[in-house]
Amino acid sequence: MSRSLEGKVALVTGGARGIGAAIVRRLAADGARVAFTYSASVEAARALAAEIGEAGGTALAIAADSADAAAVVAAVDATVSAFGGLDILVNNAGIGVVANVADARIEDYDRTFAVNVRAVFVAMQAAARHMRPGGRIITIGSVNAERIPFAGGAIYAATKAAVAGMSRGAARDFGPLGITVNVVQPGPIDTDMNPADGPWASAAKAMLVSGAYGQGADVAALVAFVAGPESQFITGACLNVDGGYLA
C-alpha cells in the first residue's frame, strides 16, 4: 500500500467502529496521523488507537458527541493541538432513525439533524480556521439521499440529501482557499448498524449488482483516494460506492 498521505493530519468523526474505523485504519496505513472521535464506544476507540499504534501508525481517540456543537469544535482544536495542523476532515459520524413521518418524534428528528447535518457544518467551519491549500473535506453521505426504497427512512434520507447540497455549496466557498469538498455515498455496507443478514438485507441485496453487501474497506478506499494528491480536480462531487444500488 502506498504512503500517499505521509505527513498529513486527518480527523475522522465517529471513527471508533464500522465504516469510520475502516477509514481510520486506511488513512493511517497511507501515512496520515489520524485523530478520531467517539461517543459511546469507549473500549472500541481505545482498541483501535492501540491497534494502529502497534502497526506503526499514530492515532488519537477523542471523546465527542457530534450532537454537541461545542464538542465538535473542541475535537478539531484538539487534533490541531496534538498534531500541529489539519489537512483532512472526514465527517463520518451519523445516526439513523426508522420512523414513519406520521409517527416520528420531533426529538428524533432534531437529534438526527444535529448529528448528521449540523455537526458537518460546525466541523467544516472549525476546520476552515486551520486548513491550508490542499486541504480535503469529505463527508460520508448515503445513496439514500437519492433513493429510499423502504418506509420509515424519510428523516435519515433528508439529512443525507442536506449534506450533499451543503457540500456542493461549500465547495464553492472553499475553492478559493485551495480546499476541496466532496461527499462519499455508500450503499449497503456490512456493519453492526446494517448487517448483511439484518432485517433490511434481503431488499437491499435485490438492488445490488452482485447481490452482496460491501465492506467498510470499500468505502475507506474511495475516501483515501479523495483525500490524496491525485484528487485535486474533484470537488463538489457526490461519489457513490454502492455496488450498483443506484444503477
Task: Out of 38, 109, 156, 245, pick the active-site residue.
Answer: 156
Strands 33-38 and 136-140: unpaired
> What's the pLDDT at 154?
97
One-letter amino acid for residue 8 of the chain? K
- Is 151 within 8 Å of 93 (Cβ atoms)? no
> What's the pLDDT at 203?
84
What span, in angstroms and rounded, lies between the C-alpha atoms of 2 and 59? Answer: 18
CA angle 4, 8, 14 (to 5 degrees): 105
Of 185, 177, 183, residue with least CA distance to 214: 185
Please, what's the largest Cα pairwise distance for the chain?
51
- Is 82 within 8 Å of 89 (Cβ atoms)? no
> What's the pLDDT at 1?
58
Length of the chain: 247
Burial letters 110-143, b for 16+ CB under 10 A, else e: ebbbbbbbbbbbbbbebbbebbeeebbbbbbbbb
What domains can you pick out in the chain, each with its CATH number? 9-241 (3.40.50.720)
DSSP code of residue 176: G
CA angle 46, 47, 48 (to 5 degrees): 95
The answer to whether 213 is a known catalytic residue is no
- 218: which 3 cell numbers? 470499500
Per-10-residue mean pLDDT of the chain, 247 residues long, equals 90 98 98 97 97 97 98 98 98 95 96 98 97 98 93 96 98 98 97 87 90 96 98 98 95
Radius of gyration of the chain (CA): 17
- Is 245 within 8 Å of 187 (Cβ atoms)? yes
Mean per-residue pLDDT over the chain, rounded:
96
Element (H, E) at 162: helix 154-174
Tens-digit pLDDT profile for residues 92-141:
999 999 999 999 999 999 999 999 999 999 999 999 999 999 999 999 99
- Is 20 within 8 Å of 14 (Cβ atoms)? yes
